[in-house]
Chains A and B, each alone.
Chain A
Amino acid sequence: MGDPLDPSDYTVDELREELETVETADELESVLEAERTSKNRKTALEAIRNRLDDLGVPEAEAIEEDTDTEGEYLEAGGEPPFDPAEFDIAELGPKLKDVEDIDALRALLDAEESGENRDSVVTLVESRIDKLSESEVEGEVDPTELSVAELGNAVQNVDEVETLEAILDAEESGENRETAKNLIQSRIESVSGGEREEAEAAVPPEEKHPDLDHPTADKRHVRALEDGTYGDMWVYCETQAGALIDVSREMLGKARELIDGYNDDYDADERVVAVLVGDDVEKHAEECIACGADVVVYHEDDRLDRFQHKAYTEIFCDMARWGGDPGEGNPGEADWRDYDEPRYVVFPATNNGRDLSAQVQAELDSGLASDCSGLFIEDAVISNPVKTGQPGTNKTFERVLHMKRPDFSGFEYSTILCLDNPNREFHPQGASVIPGSFELPDPDPDLEGEVVEHDVALDDDWFRVEVTEFDQLEAGVDLTGHDVIVAMGRGIGADPTRGMELAVDLADCFEDAEIGVTRGIVTGSYNFEGHVEQYTQEERQIGETGQVVEPDLYVAAGISGAVQHKVGMDESDTIVAINTDPEARIRDFSDYFIEGDLFEVLPRLIDAIETGELDLGAVTDGGRDASETTASDEGDTHE
């Protein structure tokens, strides 16, 4: 070897030429090293490496031949897949992600440590090694190293009973945590579940565990159902304060869509059944049909005017079993249906709907997926031995309602399935549905359906809970549906109380008038006197974030006509605006614009109406042709 080549003496181009003269890998290796420790130019390193390649000596081998220290890691860990020194930390993150081999990572780590030894790079590689090692351990779980929660996750991946038993042994001879052992045991049970289930299934729980309470022991009716027949999708249609609530309509729309698809897929002829329970609820039947129900089953009783948990549950269950599998205590024949129990039931996830759904499904001895936001019907292939009855086999369940529910604020979704066990049937498949999850259907009045009254004697016992008192949450003021609205804006600023008094006086001139205000009034600092203050609250705000009104006559006094106010009133039949500013925007969408001070105009207007001089009703009728009226400064109004 002659004089070693010092790369830092050359530009990269020059270096390239010089390198041509170097014929040994050893020498190139030291040039490479010299470049790394001096200028460390990417392009230069590249050039040297290319030359090494030309010579047919891979870089790593060259190192092995030459340097002992670096040779060590080669023995220990194999070749690093790339040279960490060539990358800055930010580039390394993504690159490392592609490396799956721990040995390669160890080699990288060594390379970095014996090279630039950057703290952050070392950490990065170490954490990648940690991560991969963690996932490797999964095969051989050492319970003593894991928290109970971690252990819980780890054993979920283990399917062999022997392995699990070994883990259990390890735990017993180690920390012997009760909670940990339970976890492992329950995993053992669930993997070997199929076999046990079969052996034990015939033994009813009351006999198996005589020491426990068995509050569902009397649910023999359902338990006895074997090869039960199921049909239809039932929708519990909740009413509140005498009105059908939107979620009921949403569920009917969805049920229609699901059942139509179902009938196509399975060549069936099943139906959507709407259930109405309450006082005077039959009147909603028509709407239920328009929203998609084929059948409406209702039960009316004046004792049912408010939701009663026990009574509603009993009624719903009785409906569900109506005409079902004959047996002791079963309800009578039903000529409108021919199955034992509903195939699917859906409830609204409202306060009452949640209560009802839980108790009904328990009573029918089935399951419930609560607070769902998505539903679809599909076959499902299942391998869980509890469900298949035989470990290691798959079973196809048909017509399964898939119930999607959001976990953790909708960050994740779980899909819940309600499947029969080999020895026990879980029907109806039930869900409660978050209001707003589905589209409101367009009601189709041409749809036809059957309305069925349900009759059962209501047991007084069911009404042990008596509602002695109730409070209806302040519904606020409803400004919709009135003939006239008198609305006031910040134009009253000079004398706010007087301004509102004028509004009250004007409203009094009409049979059916209400007072509204702009947001400017609601959020203003005016000191209103007690007798008018009530008219200036947020509940009377008209506009985008308030109420939307369409009266025959809208009087807007001292209102500029901001677009956010406009959207709450511009569908009014006739709009009369009073404003001192002839440029005020409200002029653009008023039928009559009175330029003048409201403190002068309003008293004269009131006067004129009271004396019968002015008939605002007549104004209203003629309002459509949008004639404009401009008053003189004194506030005269001309028609």
Chain B
Amino acid sequence: MSDEHEHYEAVVVGAGPGGAAAAAALANYGVETLVLERGVDAGSKNVSGGLIYAEESAPYTIDDLFPDFREEASERPVTEYYLHNVAGDKVKTVDITDLHEHDTEWSDSVLRRRMDSWLAERVHEMTRETGGGLLTDVRVNGLLREGGEIVGVTCDEVDPIRADLVVAADGVNSELARDAGLMDWEDPEEWFQGVKAVVDMPPEVVADRFDVGEDEGVAHLFSGDLFEDVRGGGFLYTNEDSVSIGTVFHLNSLVAERAEPHELLDALLTHPLLAQWLGDDYEEREYSAKLVPDSKKVALKEPHEGRLVVVGDAAGQMQAQGPIIKGMNHAVSAGALAAEAFAEAKSRDDPSSAGRRYAKKLRSEGVMKKLRPPQYRAVSALGERDAVTNVVDGVLTSGVGRTAIKALSGQLDRLFGSPFLTSMVPDTRTSYVTLPTIIAEELGTPVREESTVEPPTLADRIGDLTYDTDIGNPHIRLVDNSVDASGAAVSACPVSAQDFGGGCYREETVTSNGDEERVVSLDTQPCVECGTCAVVADTEWEHPRGGKGVEFREG
């Protein structure tokens, strides 16, 4: 052992649910654990739609590891769940509470700043007892290697740290997974982009508009032609004194349609269906965005390399079970299983086997099967080809298809209620757009309300965010500024837009030697670190230094 660097038995990178679970479980095993978090506070960099699940079949749930979790860190339990199929102003609503409750011990809405910072306090207490602790404002920027072997991590702010186990729980766009060669950020097909607004709403108004008691909450999902042809949907979850409204789209579809994420969110916010809930006192607390991996395509089958284990979004463990999105719960399971694996490996005097043991546990505990369902593999082989989509869409939109849908009407709840069926839904226009639209057209009833919601402009949304800018140190560098290579980011970046000068990406005309050329410019100061341009543009992409960049208050 070289004394040159500080050494811990385990270093956990990232204090989201995956890192918190890993650290708590490691601490329970008495493993000396240091947790490093790049935000000023845990949760200040994190965004999620907002539902955390405790699955009955899961090896670990968050309240196993943090007993007071639901009381202290979550918002409201979801006691009702609806899916709305939308076509114009016609809506067909399906109750999917059954699907939601399948294998669900409980499920609560959460806001990540509150949740993660609470977890971090517990984690700090627990890991301190082992001789470690939790440090914020520290960004791990890579793996420390010796003779080609991973032996620890390197950071922007402190000296390299050696460890017997490195847990990469650094979220989507994991720089550690990339450094280890486990993940690339190349293919937009593998990702979703989520964009969200947290809307202020006093508890009594929530109770009134959603008809819920103090310990009840509602979740709504939206699909259909709300978003033109972009594949994805919307959600609305009630929190204690706010609601989270957002959209989740396939990134490749966003790019193909040149859609503006903030406009898609606005389309949802201003839809007459939402008028009943948003009233005429719309006040947005925070606009946020994050990329989410599609576990069906990217969940790492062997999320480890040497002493490194990768958990949560960093390992692609984000499951879209039809319309229901599960990420935090799997991150918790994975983090705790990784800890278990390390403790076992250590007691068998075979620390290098931790990674293998972890992967094995993911399989034997059934986590991997949820992340990469076998039935999806079979269907998607056929279903995602354009030709098939077109044929299916053709049938659905024909008289025959429409009649079939009408005949189905009594059974829609059951159809959407089957977890097996929803897990095999292929990612095509059909399931996201065509089918819901036809359902609404054929079976829906018109909405009579009118929306008075006026969402803030993008400039206002950016202006309302909190930034600690690392002046002079942009964290993203544009490698190729041609429109071909990087132009997609101008619309796909959630804080940029065509013809908007105040965002990150802009298209500009420049003349050199009399030739006019369209090029892309980048200003990283408005960046919300969603990760989109790492995939859709040609960049050198890193996160800002510890404590720098955007700071989410809600998340």
Please list the residues of chain A having a beta carbon within 8 angstroms of any beta carbon in chain B.
88-91, 93-94, 96-97, 119-120, 122-124, 126-128, 130-131, 147, 149, 408-409, 411, 489-490, 493, 496, 519-520, 522-527, 538, 544-545, 560, 562-564, 585
Say whether B40 faces chain A, with CB atoms less than 8 Å apart.
no
The 5 residue pairs across chains A and B that have the minimum distance between CB atoms = A93-B28, A90-B64, A523-B523, A131-B30, A563-B463
Tell me the minimal C-beta distance from B467 to chain A in angstroms: 8
Judging by beta carbons under 8 Å apart, are A127 and B133 in contact? Answer: no
User: Does B387 sit at the interface, judged by CB under 8 A?
Assistant: no
C-alpha gap A527/B3 in the complex (Å): 52
- Contacting pair A408 B158 (CB below 8 A): yes
Query: Do B340 and A545 touch across chains, with their CB atoms under 8 A apart?
Result: no
Indicate if the CB atoms of A93 and B29 lie closer than 8 Å.
yes
Instruction: Establish whether residues A411 and B135, one from each chain, have CB atoms under 8 Å apart when the complex forms.
Output: yes
**CB contact between A523 and one of B64, B343, B522 (< 8 Å): that residue:** B522
Residues of the B chain whose Cβ atoms lie less than 8 Å from the Cβ of A519 = 523, 525
* B contacts with A: majority SS: mixed
Shortest beta-carbon distance from A95 to chain B in Å: 10
Q: What's the least CB distance linking A588 to chain B, in Å? A: 13
* Residues on B with beta carbons closer than 8 Å to the beta carbon of A123: 29, 340, 343-344, 346-347
Which residue of A is nearest B135, CB measured?
A: A411
* Chain B residues with CB under 8 A of A562: 459, 463, 501-502
How far does the alpha carbon of A493 sit from the alpha carbon of B506 in the complex, in Å? 12
B65 touches A90 (CB 8 A): yes
Inside 8 A of A490's CB, which chain B residues have their CB? 501
What residues on A are CB-neighbors of B133 within 8 Å?
411
Minimum CB–CB distance from A501 to chain B (whole Å) comes to 15
Please name all residues of chain A whose beta carbon is closer than 8 Å to the beta carbon of B336 when the two chains form the complex: 90
Residues of A within 8 Å of B469, CB to CB, are: 544-545
Which of chain B's residues 227-276 have a Cβ closer than 8 Å to chain A?
Answer: none
Task: Indicate whether B215 reaches chain A with its CB closer than 8 angstroms.
Answer: no
Q: How far is the CA of A128 from the CA of B59 in the complex (A)?
A: 21
Contact of B64 among A88, A526, A544 (CB under 8 A): A88
Residues of B within 8 A of A127 (CB): 29-31, 343, 346-347
Let me know if B398 is at the binding interface, CB within 8 A: no
Q: Pick the contact of A89 from B340, B346, B523 — CB < 8 Å?
A: B340
Chain B's closest residue to A491 (CB) is B501
B205 proximal to A (CB < 8 A): no
Closest to A96 in B: B28
Judging by beta carbons under 8 Å apart, are A120 and B344 in contact?
Answer: yes
- 28 CB contacts below 8 A, A to B, read A90-B59, A90-B60, A93-B24, A93-B25, A94-B28, A94-B67, A119-B344, A120-B344, A122-B347, A123-B340, A123-B343, A123-B346, A127-B346, A127-B347, A128-B30, A408-B6, A409-B157, A490-B501, A493-B508, A493-B509, A519-B523, A519-B525, A520-B506, A523-B521, A525-B521, A526-B508, A538-B472, A545-B471
Residues in A whose Cβ lies below 8 Å from that of B520: 525
Specify the chain A residue showing the minimal Cβ separation from B519.
Answer: A525
Complex Cα–Cα for A409 and B37 (A): 13
Q: Is the CB of B135 within 8 A of A409?
A: yes
Q: In the complex, what distance in Å separates the CA atom of A122 from the CA atom of B343?
A: 10
Size of the chain B interface, CB-CB below 8 angstroms: 47
Starting from the known contacts A127-B31, A526-B510, A563-B463, 19 additional A-B residue pairs (CB-CB under 8 Å) come to A90-B65, A93-B65, A119-B344, A120-B344, A123-B340, A128-B30, A147-B1, A408-B158, A409-B135, A411-B135, A490-B501, A520-B502, A520-B506, A523-B522, A525-B520, A527-B510, A527-B512, A544-B469, A545-B471
Interface residues of B in 341-392 (CB under 8 A from A): 343-344, 346-347
Given contacts A523-B521, A525-B481, A538-B472, contact A560 B502 (CB under 8 A): yes
Q: Which residues of A contact B501 (CB under 8 A)?
A: 489-490, 520, 560, 562
User: Does residue B169 face the partner (Cβ distance < 8 Å to A)?
Assistant: no
Inside 8 A of A149's CB, which chain B residues have their CB? Answer: 3
CB-CB under 8 A from B508, the residues of chain A are 493, 524-526
CA distance A637 to B474 in the complex (A): 40
Instruction: Please report the C-alpha to C-alpha distance between residue A91 and residue B368 in the assembled complex, in whole angstroms.
Output: 23
CB < 8 Å: which of B30, B137, B343, B463 contacts A564? Answer: B463
Shortest C-beta distance, A248 to chain B (Å), equals 25
Q: Looking across the interface, which residue of chain A has its beta carbon closest to that of B504?
A: A523
Point out residues on B near A: beta carbons under 8 Å. Answer: 1, 3, 6, 24-25, 28-31, 59-61, 64-65, 67, 133, 135, 137-138, 157-158, 336, 340, 343-344, 346-347, 459, 463, 469, 471-472, 481, 501-502, 506, 508-512, 519-523, 525
Specify the chain A residue showing the minimal Cβ separation from B523.
A523
A-B contact count (CB 8 A): 103
Which residues from A are CB-within-8-Å of B471? 545
Chain A residues within 8 Å of B28, by CB: 93-94, 96-97, 124
CB nearest neighbor in B for A89: B340
Residue of A nearest to B29 (CB): A127
Tell me whether A524 and B521 are in contact (CB under 8 A): yes
Looking at B28, B469, B471, B521, the one whose CB has the most chain A CB atoms below 10 A away is: B28
Distance A560 CA – B67 CA, assembled complex (angstroms): 52
Q: A124-B343, A563-B459 are in contact. Are A527 and B522 (CB under 8 A)?
A: no
- What is the CA–CA distance of A96 and B25 in the complex, to the nearest angstrom? 12
Cβ-defined contact, B30 with A130, below 8 A: yes
Most buried by B among A94, A128, A538: A94
Closest residue of chain B to A538 (Cβ to Cβ) is B472
Contact B521 A91 (CB under 8 A): no
CB contacts (< 8 Å) of B137 on chain A: these are 409
- Residues on B with beta carbons closer than 8 Å to the beta carbon of A93: 24-25, 28-29, 65
Cα–Cα, bound, A127→B510 (Å)? 65
Least CB distance from A359 to B in Å reads: 27
Q: How far is the CB of B34 from chain A (nearest CB, A)?
A: 9
A91's nearest neighbour on chain B, judged by CB, is B64
CB-CB < 8 A to B459: which residues of A?
A: 562-563, 585
CA distance A481 to B439 in the complex (A): 67
The residue on B at minimum CB distance from A490 is B501
Say yes or no: A545 contacts B525, CB within 8 Å. Answer: yes
For the complex formed, measure the closest distance between the CB of B480 and the CB atoms of chain A, giving whole angstroms. Answer: 12
Contact at B138–A126, with CB atoms within 8 Å? no
Q: How far is the CB of A98 from chain B (nearest CB, A)?
A: 12
C-alpha spacing A409/B6, complex, angstroms: 12
A89 to B64, CA, bound (A): 9
Least Cβ–Cβ distance between B516 and chain A, in angstroms: 11
Q: Are B340 and A126 in contact (CB under 8 A)?
A: no
Task: Please give, as numbers and ranges, the residues of chain B lying within 8 Å of A96 by CB-CB distance.
Answer: 28
Residues of B within 8 A of A122 (CB): 347
Q: From known contacts A93-B28, A94-B67, A411-B133, infer whether A525 and B510 are also in contact, taking CB-CB under 8 Å.
A: yes
- Chain B residue with minimal CB distance to A409? B158
Chain B residue at smallest Cβ distance from A524: B521
Complex CA distance for A493 and B30, rounded to whole angstroms:
62
Distance, CA A522 to CA B469, complexed state (A)? 15
Question: Inside 8 A of A120's CB, which chain B residues have their CB?
Answer: 340, 343-344
A31 to B471, CA, bound (A): 71
Contacts of A560 in B (CB 8 A): 501-502
Name the residue of chain B whose CB is nearest to the CB of A562: B502
Residue of B nearest to A90 (CB): B64
Chain B residues contacting A544 (CB-CB under 8 Å) are 469
Q: Within the complex, what minimum Cβ distance (angstroms) separates A118 from chain B?
A: 10
How far, in Å, is B356 (CB) from chain A's closest CB? 14
Q: Is the CB of B463 within 8 A of A126?
A: no
Residue in chain A with minimal CB distance to B520: A525
Q: How far is the CA of A489 from the CA of B525 in the complex (A)?
A: 17
- Is there contact, CB below 8 Å, between B138 and A527? no
Q: A398 CB to closest chain B CB, in angstroms?
A: 33
Q: Shortest distance in angstroms between A557's beta carbon and chain B's nearest beta carbon?
A: 14
Q: Please give the distance in Å from A567's CB to the nearest CB on chain B.
A: 10
Which residues of A sit under 8 angstroms from B523, Cβ to Cβ?
Answer: 519-520, 522-523
Report B414 CB to chain A, min CB distance, Å.
29
Please give, as numbers and ranges, the residues of chain A lying within 8 Å of B509 by CB-CB distance: 493
Q: Which residues of A contact B25 (CB under 8 A)?
A: 90, 93
CB distance from B382 to the nearest CB of A (A): 40
Give min CB distance, A411 to chain B, whole Å.
5
**CB closest residue in chain B, given A585:** B459
Q: In this complex, what residue of B is CB-closest to A519?
A: B523
